[in-house]
Amino acid sequence: MRILIVEDEISLANIVAERLKKDRYIIDISNDGESGLDNALTGIYDLIILDIMLPKINGIDILKEIRKKDRAVKVIMLTAKAELDDRLSGFENGANDYVPKPFHVEELAARVNAQLNIGKAMDQNLEFGDIVLDYKLSKLRCITNREDVGINNKEFQLIEYLMTNADRILSRDMIYDRVWGMESDALSNNLEAYMSFLRKKLKIIGSKVSIKTIRNMGYRLEYEE
């Protein structure tokens, strides 16, 4: 899952980002309201952590613009202000939660997980064909022969995206936006390399699931019974 942090306190944004990466989230950061709004409206985020007091455009105005286009994305507001009117303004404009500064980063992480139902998801895991993606152990397992293999963070994000969209073809651009996002070093050969890693690991565990390349379109998971 992908999270955008819109926060002008750079050190705080980095601390929050590093903590959330431990929960296997993909994190992007914007340090002003203008870039934050541009990124928030891309539609690639599952949750946005949004400070109210921002340069260029304030968080409430950003929230209003987000809600004009996207009612589904979760938004947690951050602010040094503790007045009731500020909290009500956030909720009235579509915020899902509100965390006043200063806060403990573990509390924010817990609130993020609660909004995204991560606890429930980690208990259920993810299945497609004869494979299971184990959230707790970061492993890919074949149901039929009970073989499993460990996968790293990017591999996890990529196979999760493929499994949750197994009924559709995912273009290269869609995958880059979701898995690499604003990372500047995501070169074209990165995707091919990670697809190769995953294909080898599917073979290692003896799965009948394969990653098919659809010419001029993208990639899709297939299962041969």
Domains of the chain, residue spans: 2-119, 125-223
| 62, 6 contact by CB (below 8 A) | yes
d(CA 90, CA 94): 7
| 128, 209 contact by CB (below 8 A) | yes
- The one-letter amino acid at 196: S
Residue whose structure tokens are 């507001």:
77
Backbone angles phi, psi at 199, to 5 degrees: -60, -40
Where the chain has pLDDT below 70, the residues are 81-87, 118-124, 181-189
Q: Which of 68, 83, 1 is nearest to 37 (CA)?
A: 68
Crossing angle (nearest 10°) for helices 33-40 and 59-69? 10
**What pLDDT sits at residue 3?**
93
Residue whose structure tokens are 């009948």:
208
Helices (H), the chain: 10-21, 33-40, 59-69, 84-92, 105-115, 118-124, 153-164, 172-175, 188-204
Q: Which residues contact 32 (CB under 8 A, 6 or more apart)?
A: 8, 54, 55, 56, 57
CATH for 2-119?
Answer: 3.40.50.2300
Instruction: Dihedral sign for Cα 32, 38, 41, 42, please.
Output: negative
- What global pTM score does this model have? 0.68
| 107, 97 contact by CB (below 8 A) | no
Give the domain 125-223 fold.
Arc Repressor Mutant, subunit A (1.10.10)
**C-alpha distances out from residue 222 to 88, 170, 179, Å:** 48, 13, 20
**Coil, strand or helix at 99:** strand
